[in-house]
């Protein structure tokens, strides 16, 4: 029997559940705009201008769209998105449970050093841009671009990407995917990166590192903490380049 939102509820939860088709449809609603913005819209808008700020602006727009999509699907409310303290079935809430995020943050950090030989287009390689003299010149004193990057990082790891996959989708995937819902969620998260397909292998692993503690402790904050560690590190580096 097909499971639809509002008609099916997973055992032990009052959260309405999505069917597999609905989950995949919402995945498309998040992933396809990001791919189009990165590979079609940004090059068309950039023209002869510096490509990096245009790409950052387009990706920010895609992440903001995800937050808007969350609000539309959730009745313009943040309730039911697991924005709550981590908890366990035996009634423990918060406290030392927050410390469970630490090993996943460390694992996520270590993942960044795992070498993958997938080619990265030069104009989409943000890491290479930061390491180049052109990138440093672009960022030097450029507070407007830094503000845009901060907005992008915020929607990436809190209000957009992370809240979409861990706050909206994961709590609604148990009926369709069973106890493997967090695995499916992590894979979908990785495959979503059509805007930077070279990162899909590592993004799948990263998605699992965020989905598991979120499901284990029924708190989207766990995934947000893990994901935001990267944003804080990257934001700090960019901040120093702006101040240079």
The string of pLDDT tens digits covering residues 46-73 is 876 688 999 999 999 999 999 999 999 9
Q: How far is CA 102 from CA 110, 210, 213, 227, 228, in A?
A: 12, 12, 10, 12, 12
Q: How far is CA 47 from CA 34, 60, 90, 112, in A?
A: 19, 19, 58, 32
What is the DSSP-derived secondary structure letter of residue 87? B
**Residue 176 C-alpha from the chain's centroid:** 22
14 occurs within a structural domain: no
pLDDT averaged over every residue in the chain: 90
12 occurs within a structural domain: no
Burial profile 30-62: b = 16 or more Cβ within 10 angstroms, e = fewer? bbebbbebbbebbeeebeeeebbbbbbbbbbbb
Domain span holding position 233: 20-75+96-243
pLDDT digits (tens, 9 = 90+) for 71-109: 999 999 999 999 999 999 999 999 999 999 999 999 999
Give the pLDDT mean for 5-32: 80
pLDDT digits (tens, 9 = 90+) for 199-220: 999 999 999 999 999 999 999 9
User: Does the pLDDT of residue 187 top 50, yes or no?
Assistant: yes
pLDDT at 117: 63
User: Does the pLDDT of residue 4 top 50, yes or no?
Assistant: no
Q: Which helix (H) or strand (E) holds 101?
A: helix 101-111
| Contacts by 70-75, CB closer than 8 A, 24 or more apart | 70/163, 70/164, 70/167, 70/168, 73/26, 73/168, 74/168
pLDDT digits (tens, 9 = 90+) for 123-147: 888 878 888 888 888 899 999 999 9
84 occurs within a structural domain: no
C-beta of residue 65 within 8 angstroms of C-beta of residue 74: no
pLDDT at 13: 59
117 occurs within a structural domain: yes
The pair phi, psi for residue 26, each rounded to 5°, is: -70, -35
pLDDT digits (tens, 9 = 90+) for 104-128: 999 999 998 887 767 888 788 887 8
124 occurs within a structural domain: yes
User: Does the pLDDT of residue 12 top 60, yes or no?
Assistant: no
pLDDT at 116: 72
**Is the model more confident about 96 or about 12?**
96
15 occurs within a structural domain: no
82 occurs within a structural domain: no
Tally of domains in the chain: 1
User: Does the pLDDT of residue 14 top 80, yes or no?
Assistant: no
80 occurs within a structural domain: no
What is the DSSP-derived secondary structure letter of residue 179? G
Give the pLDDT mean for 6-13: 50
pLDDT at 100: 96
């Amino acid at each position: 029997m097909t499971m639809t939102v509002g008609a099916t509820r997973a055992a032990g939860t009052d959260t309405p559940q999505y069917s597999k088709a609905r989950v995949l449809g919402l995945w498309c609603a998040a992933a396809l705009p990001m791919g189009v913005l990165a590979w079609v819209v940004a090059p068309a808008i950039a023209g002869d201008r510096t490509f990096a700020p245009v790409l950052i602006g387009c990706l920010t727009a895609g992440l903001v769209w995800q937050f808007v999509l969350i609000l539309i699907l959730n009745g313009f409310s943040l309730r039911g998105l697991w924005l709550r303290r981590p908890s366990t079935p035996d009634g423990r809430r918060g406290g030392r449970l927050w410390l469970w995020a630490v090993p996943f943050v460390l694992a996520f950090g270590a993942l960044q050093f795992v070498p993958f030989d997938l080619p990265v287009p030069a104009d989409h390689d943000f890491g290479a841009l930061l390491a180049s003299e052109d990138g440093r010149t672009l960022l030097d004193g450029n507070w407007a671009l830094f503000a845009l990057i901060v907005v992008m990082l915020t929607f990436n790891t809190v209000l957009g990407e992370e809240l979409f996959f861990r706050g909206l989708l994961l709590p609604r995937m148990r009926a369709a995917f069973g106890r493997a819902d967090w695995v499916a969620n992590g894979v979908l998260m990785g495959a979503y990166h059509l805007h930077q397909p070279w990162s899909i292998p590592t993004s799948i692993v990263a998605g699992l590192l965020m989905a598991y503690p979120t499901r284990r402790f029924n708190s989207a904050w766990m995934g947000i903490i893990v994901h935001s560690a990267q944003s804080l590190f990257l934001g700090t580096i960019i901040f120093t380049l702006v101040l240079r």
